[in-house]
Amino acid sequence: MKCPDCSAETSDMLATCEWCGARLVQGGPSQAIPYAGPTDPQTQYRQPAYQPAPGEIPPPPSDASYHGYSQRPTGPQPKPKNPWYATPVPYAIAIVAVLAIIASVVVLHKEAKGNTALLVNNLPTMIDLYTDT
């Protein structure tokens, strides 16, 4: 859109003119922010806005400012508050799994040892399981 203050083409996605800083009012006449002038030359100095000559086409704005990307926050992204490795649950599950594996190995080893109390005269023995009926 055309800035009513400096007559330069500026983005209608922004609230102020890219060239002179005047406030843009969408769909109606805009009101330029009055330039009060520097009260303190050391701190309040403001560079005068670029004023295109009559009939001159102002240079297009950069893509970043044109699409409003320049206002994207650039700081580090916040980390998740409670990641999985900061909770005790996965460690507890891992400990229980290891204990279960150890217990199963011990039980299997015991079963594999056999029961020599059932042997007769320390010989290989055939157990005959019968019924009276």
Partner 1 sequence: MTPVVDGLEQQYQGKVAVRRINANTDPTAQTFNIRGVPTFIFLDIDGKEIGRIEGGNQVGLEAGFRAAAKQ
Binding residues for partner 1 (CB under 8 A)? 112-133
Q: Nearest approach, Cβ of 131 to partner 1 (angstroms)? A: 5
> Which sign does the torsion angle of CA 90, 94, 97, 99 carry?
negative
CA distance 92 to 34: 67
In the bound state with partner 1, the residue whose beta carbon lies nearer, of 93 and 105, is 105
In the bound state with partner 1, the residue whose beta carbon lies nearer, of 89 and 123, is 123
Q: Are 8 and 2 in contact (CB under 8 A)?
A: yes
Q: Nearest approach, Cβ of 128 to partner 1 (angstroms)? A: 5
CA distance 92 to 103: 17
CA distance 108 to 4: 89
In the bound state with partner 1, the residue whose beta carbon lies nearer, of 53 and 117, is 117
Q: Nearest approach, Cβ of 107 to partner 1 (angstroms)? A: 15
